[in-house]
Amino acid sequence: MTDKELSCKELVDIVTDYIEGHLTPADSATFRTHIADCPGCSTYLDQMRLTMRALGRVPSPPIPQEMKTRLMAAFRDRQRG
């Protein structure tokens, strides 16, 4: 972000980076300023946080042994050239 102001579309594009702490301090401050003045984006941020928390607790299904075997064989074949 190079501008001092952040549009709603730009916020949507970087919300995950903000939540995960990947923005610079200056960009985080710009993000927080926008959130303070935009109820819609504030709600969106809350929804994204809830979604990410919920998805973080969803266990991944186990990979069947046959699939693991096929994936490893494909990997070895690719390594060989």
Q: Mean of the pLDDT values across residues 9-17?
A: 93
pLDDT for residue 32:
96
CB 33, CB 7: distance < 8 Å: no
Distance (Å, whole) CA 42 – CA 75: 44
Task: Show Cβ contacts of residue 14 under 8 Å, excluding neighbours closer than 6 positions.
Answer: 1, 23, 27, 31
Residue 58 φ/ψ region, left for φ over 0, alpha for ψ in the -120 to 50 degree band, beta for the rest: beta
What CATH number is given to the structural domain containing 21?
A: 1.10.10
With respect to residue 1, please indicate whether it lies within any of the assigned structural domains: no
With respect to residue 66, please indicate whether it lies within any of the assigned structural domains: yes
- Specify the higher pLDDT residue, 41 or 78: 41
Q: Mean of the pLDDT values across residues 28-56?
A: 93
With respect to residue 2, please indicate whether it lies within any of the assigned structural domains: no
Residues spanned by the domain of 28? 8-80
